[in-house]
Amino acid sequence: MTANTRFGTLVIPEERIIHLPAGLAGFPEAHRFVLLERAANSTLRWLQCLDPEGPTFLVVDPFLVDPDYPLDQVRRAMNDCGLAIGADDPLAVAAVVAIPPEPEAPTANLLAPIVVQVDSRRGAQVILHESGYRTREALRIS
Amino acid sequence: MLILTRRRGERIRIGEHIEVVVTQMRRGLVRLGISAPPGVPIFREEIYQAIVRENQRAARPARERLPELERALDKP
């Protein structure tokens, strides 16, 4: 598909499009996304919405921020959404990063990751109710 | 808004597939059990609102801070 984004007009092959049927909290119309590398060695990636006027996010692998990130809770939350039924379904997990103006510190939302079932490329922003994480966790790479 | 009075153990049914049960009431706290089909998200309202705020904040990154942040985060 072709989409006009802040990165200009992007032509994205179907197999790279991520579908979030429920949208994101606060962005209920944002359904189709693509993950874009920033640089070969970059920890952060862009998650660009392909729908008209769609938002752009920075995301980070939450397992880099916390090596003990609870994959079992991620899997359970996806299961509750009906998006990953099999116990071995491969999942991709991304935490939304906020970079506020100085002097506030950058944070990652470890409470509500965006999780995608890799085979179907369908996903959702889920809430890890029992994780104890907040929406603003310090963005440090462990 | 519809307001209903329920005792402990009593239920409320919303449509065909959603059920809410009052499991415990103590010191001003009410514990609810909620059954809903897969795909119906259930949130504590204040947490949902916090995530909305966080997504909106994240969609406006201070881009001028990105190079410095990436130098700190990225592997060589």
Rounded to an integer, the average pLDDT of A94-100 is: 96
Spans of chain B below 50 pLDDT: none
Predicted local confidence at residue B75, as pLDDT: 59
Predicted local confidence at residue B39, as pLDDT: 75
Residue to substitute from A19, A43, A115, interface B, most B β-carbons within 10 A: A43
Min Cα–Cα distance to chain A from B12, Å: 21
Beta-ladder partners of B24: B31
Q: Which residues make Cβ contacts (< 8 Å) with residue A136, sequence separation at least 6?
A: A98, A107, A109, B54
Beta-ladder partners of A19: A32, A122
pLDDT at A91 over 90: yes
Residue to substitute from A45, A48, A49, A58, interface B, most B β-carbons within 10 A: A58
Give residue-wise pLDDT tens across range A3-22: 888 888 989 999 999 999 98
Burial class (CB in 10 A: 0-12, 13-18, 19+), B66: middle
Give residue-wise pLDDT tens across range A31-84: 999 999 988 778 999 999 999 989 999 999 999 999 999 999 999 999 888 887
Predicted local confidence at residue A101, as pLDDT: 93
Sign of the Cα pseudo-torsion (A21, B49, A45, A48, in order): positive
